[in-house]
Amino acid sequence: MTRGKETGNLILTAAVFILMEVAALVLLSRSATLQNIWINRFSHRVMAMNWRAEENIRGHFRLREQNEQLAAENFALREELRRYQAMDRLEEEQEHLAATKGRFTYIPATVVKMSRNNLHNYIILNKGSEDGVRPYSGIISEQGVVGVVQAVGKRYSYGLTLMNSFLSVSARIGRNGLVAPLVWDGVSTHRAYLKGIPPHVEIPEGETVYTSGFSFVFPPDIPIAVTQGVSREDGATNSIAVRLLQDFSSLRYVTIAQNPSRAQIAELEQRQEKEEES
């Protein structure tokens, strides 16, 4: 007998056996109630096993689809994580602001009007004296320093932006570096200069410039700009070009920072000046 014929015979015999056995089980289940229940239970168990095996096989072939879904979910989770990390950083910055809260109070405001094309640019905010705003308060945003409140109405405030050649801000290079006044270059929307830098001081490019905290207008360590290059101002000092961090074209929401002790400090200064004059 050939191998193929033998295999065929084996399969045929097995098939006939299964058929006859099923017939015998049907006979048995119909002739006795107990056996009927037992066979039904057994057949249900076999069917459950079949379904489980079928489900396993189907699950195996669905792995690729599931992997793709998991990859997409993973990507979404990473995006969310990045968002939370950015929020954490923002919170840290806000905590830093809160650390100066003893000396400064903060009022959120919205930009009503702002000029950008003049030599003396200004900004108008929707908060005034009724909201507690006083002149010579700092205007900052999440990007950095914006300007200084110059005059206050009942509901609105008028301020000078950094893009104003009349405005000078006391700045520090790095967290603990040199302190110098920062003024706008009068032309560019993003360029300013740190004036009066001694020639022997070397300032690396890319260093962040912060508010010094040596005035009662701005709290310390508010970022303003990033250093770019050195240029000779006159024979004795250098100027350092900086790129302003604040993008004035997209500015909409700001925070007004004001020092409640400003009047007391000003009075103290005036008294001292009078004493010196007399």
Nearer to other proteins, 34 or 236 (CB): 34
Between CA 240 and CA 202 the distance in angstroms is: 10
Among the residue ranges 13-21, 73-81, 82-90, 243-251, the one whose residues contact other proteins (CB under 8 A): 13-21
Among the residue ranges 22-30, 75-83, 136-144, 147-155, the one whose residues contact other proteins (CB under 8 A): 22-30
Nearest by Cα to 248 from 86, 134, 113, 89: 113
Q: Figure out which of the listed residues 3, 5, 8, 9 binds other proteins, where binding follows CB under 8 A.
A: 9
Backbone torsions φ then ψ of 122, nearest 5 degrees: -135, 170
Between CA 171 and CA 213 the distance in angstroms is: 8
Residue type, 124: I
Q: Figure out which of the listed residues 25, 124, 226, 230 binds other proteins, where binding follows CB under 8 A.
A: 25
Is residue 17 involved in binding other proteins (CB under 8 A)?
yes
What is the torsional sign of CA 26, 28, 30, 36? negative
Is residue 16 involved in binding other proteins (CB under 8 A)?
yes
The size of the interface with other proteins (CB under 8 A), counted in residues, is: 24
x/- string (CB under 8 A) for other proteins, residues 32-71?
x-xx-xx--x------------------------------
Among the residue ranges 11-19, 43-51, 236-244, 254-262, the one whose residues contact other proteins (CB under 8 A): 11-19
Q: Figure out which of the listed residues 7, 8, 30, 50 binds other proteins, where binding follows CB under 8 A.
A: 30
Is residue 24 involved in binding other proteins (CB under 8 A)?
yes
Between CA 191 and CA 144 the distance in angstroms is: 14
Is residue 21 involved in binding other proteins (CB under 8 A)?
yes
Between CA 29 and CA 89 the distance in angstroms is: 74
Among the residue ranges 25-33, 48-56, 162-170, 230-238, the one whose residues contact other proteins (CB under 8 A): 25-33
Contacts of 270 (CB under 8 A, 6+ apart): none
Nearer to other proteins, 40 or 270 (CB): 40
Q: Figure out which of the listed residues 7, 13, 231, 270 binds other proteins, where binding follows CB under 8 A.
A: 13
Contacts of 267 (CB under 8 A, 6+ apart): none
Between CA 55 and CA 270 the distance in angstroms is: 87
Between CA 271 and CA 263 the distance in angstroms is: 12
Least distance (Å) from other proteins to the CB of residue 73?
46
Between CA 36 and CA 30 the distance in angstroms is: 7
- Tell me 182's DSSP state: E
What is the contact surface with other proteins in residues (CB under 8 A)? 9-10, 12-14, 16-17, 20-21, 23-32, 34-35, 37-38, 41
